[in-house]
Structure 1
Amino acid sequence: MARELIENGTLAVSELATNAYRLAEGLDPCTRTVSPELWIWARSYPHQALVVTVFDGYQTPPPQETGSALWAEHGRGLNIVAAVSSSWGSHPSRARFTSPPVIGKAVWFTLPLPPTWRHRTRIADPRRTAVQLHALLAARGIGGIIRKDARAVSLVSVPCGLNIRVQPTTFTLNDTNGVTIRRPLVDLHDLAELVVQRTEEITP
Structure 2
Amino acid sequence: MSGFVFKQFTVTQTRAAMKVSTDGILLGAWADVSGAKRILDIGTGTGLLALMAKQRAPDAKVSAIEIDSGACSDARDNFAASPWPDTNLFEGAVQSFNAAEPFDAIITNPPYFNASLKGENHARNTARHTDGLSFNELIASCSRLSHSKTRLNVILPCVEAQQFIAVAEQAGWYLNRHCLVRTTDKKQASRSLMLFSQNNGECETTSLTIHAADGSYSQDYKELCKAFYLKM
TM-score scaled by length of structure 1: 0.29
TM-score scaled by length of structure 2: 0.26
Computing the radius of gyration from Cα coordinates, the structure with the larger value is 1
